[in-house]
């Protein structure tokens, strides 16, 4: 009997040691596998936090850049950081993707009115690599790094204001809308909806304004007097006319009025949302039109001087959480855990 008990104890001891060895082997294999796992990709990012606004300059000679320069503005596009600096949400429109209505000879005579009035893609989110480096359908990038800036709270207000900016970003993540050319004349066109509705949307800086508005902060809105609206309309007309002439080329022989018609159509949409009108209607009425809308520079404090030496900002410390302007710093994406690659990021 004693022998039997000892035998059972020996068997049990051997079995327990075996189980312990197997467990140790499993643990070693698990951690060894972790050590040789695939490297982890760290996405590109900029030095903005959730809720900060990104301003991007245009190029002199481009349609929007020339238009906003008339009212003393420098930056031509804007968006909002919606995470830790890896993603920007913004509102844009690709003119090249608007359908051209053509005659029997294949010569365009106008743009699709619905596509012109309700521009796509509208409000969208892009990782910063795509936003700054990816070519859009119009042949450029949505954001430009050189000359780009971030609007954020001052250091003294950072702790108090960040929660409100994060809420604004959350509101913008939810909301969906078209890009509205007419929002340059009347910015009050966006609603708190997460689906597309014709006639509901905004332009880039108007969308950033609404993100704050939906979060409870009503920023100031610029008032553009008729004489400046008239200059902007004429600048827009000439820019569109030249662009159409360049595209049509010798085809203009068969449709000599096409450039004027499409330029009229875009300008009528800008001032009066008459996207199906190719007449010069706008010329008779734009001189009496007062616009209520913000260009990107209007999101700045009124004390800030832009690179053109102008002070177009209309915000005050009471109307805005954004009291600090810093240059955009871009860090390339990189791999972590790949011994064969350089895992350091680059700044631009």
Residue 60 confidence (pLDDT) = 76
Interatomic CA distance for residues 274 and 176, integer angstroms: 23
One domain, residues 10 and 80: no
Residue 24 confidence (pLDDT) = 47
Interatomic CA distance for residues 245 and 253, integer angstroms: 11
One domain, residues 26 and 90: no
Residue 322 confidence (pLDDT) = 98
344 lies in a domain?
no
Residue 107 confidence (pLDDT) = 79
185 lies in a domain?
yes
One domain, residues 113 and 245: yes
Domain of residue 237, residue span: 45-331
**Total of domains in the chain:** 2
- 266: nearest Cα among 281, 288, 251, 250: 281
Q: What does the longest C-alpha to C-alpha distance in the chain come to?
A: 116
From the number of C-beta atoms within 10 Å of its C-beta (0-12, 13-18, 19+), residue 79 rates as buried
Residue 255 confidence (pLDDT) = 60
Residues 6 or more apart in contact with residue 3 via CB below 8 angstroms: none
> Are 90 and 124 within 8 A, CB to CB?
yes
pLDDT averaged per 10 residues in sequence order, the chain, 348 residues: 44 51 48 63 97 93 89 98 98 95 85 98 98 95 97 98 98 98 98 98 98 98 98 96 81 71 98 98 97 98 97 98 98 82 45
Residue 104 confidence (pLDDT) = 82
Residue 62 confidence (pLDDT) = 84
> Are 41 and 335 within 8 A, CB to CB?
yes
Strand ranges (DSSP E) for 1-74? 40-42, 45-46, 53-57
């Amino acid at each position: 009997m004693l022998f039997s008990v000892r035998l059972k104890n020996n068997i049990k001891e051997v079995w327990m040691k075996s189980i312990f060895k197997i467990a140790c082997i499993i643990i070693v294999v698990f951690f060894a596998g972790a050590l040789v796992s695939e490297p982890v990709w760290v996405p590109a990012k900029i030095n903005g936090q959730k809720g900060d606004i990104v301003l991007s300059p245009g190029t002199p000679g481009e349609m929007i850049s020339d238009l906003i320069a008339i009212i003393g503005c420098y930056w031509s596009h804007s968006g909002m950081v919606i995470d830790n600096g890896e993603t920007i949400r913004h509102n844009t429109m690709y003119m090249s993707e608007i359908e051209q209505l053509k005659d029997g000879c294949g010569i365009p005579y106008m743009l699709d009115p619905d596509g012109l009035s309700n521009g796509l893609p509208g409000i969208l989110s892009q990782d910063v690599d795509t936003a700054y480096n990816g070519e859009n359908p119009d042949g450029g990038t949505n954001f430009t790094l050189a000359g780009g800036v971030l609007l954020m709270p001052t250091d003294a207000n950072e702790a108090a204001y960040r929660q409100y900016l994060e809420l604004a970003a959350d509101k913008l993540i939810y909301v969906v809308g078209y890009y509205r050319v007419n929002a340059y004349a009347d910015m009050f066109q966006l609603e708190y909806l997460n689906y597309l509705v014709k006639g509901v949307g905004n332009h880039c800086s108007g969308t950033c304004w609404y993100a704050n508005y939906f979060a409870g902060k009503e920023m100031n809105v610029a008032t553009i007097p008729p004489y400046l609206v008239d200059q902007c309309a004429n600048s827009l007309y000439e820019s569109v006319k030249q662009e159409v002439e360049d595209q049509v080329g010798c085809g203009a022989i068969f449709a000599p009025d096409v450039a004027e018609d499409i330029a009229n159509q875009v300008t009528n949409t800008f001032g009066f949302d008459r996207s199906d009108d190719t007449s010069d209607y706008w010329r008779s009425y734009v001189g009496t039109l007062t616009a209520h809308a913000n260009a990107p520079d209007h999101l700045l404090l009124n004390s800030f001087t832009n690179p053109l030496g102008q002070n177009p900002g209309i915000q005050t410390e009471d109307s805005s959480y954004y009291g600090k302007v810093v240059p955009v710093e871009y860090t390339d994406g990189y791999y972590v855990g790949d011994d064969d690659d350089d895992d350091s990021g680059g700044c631009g």
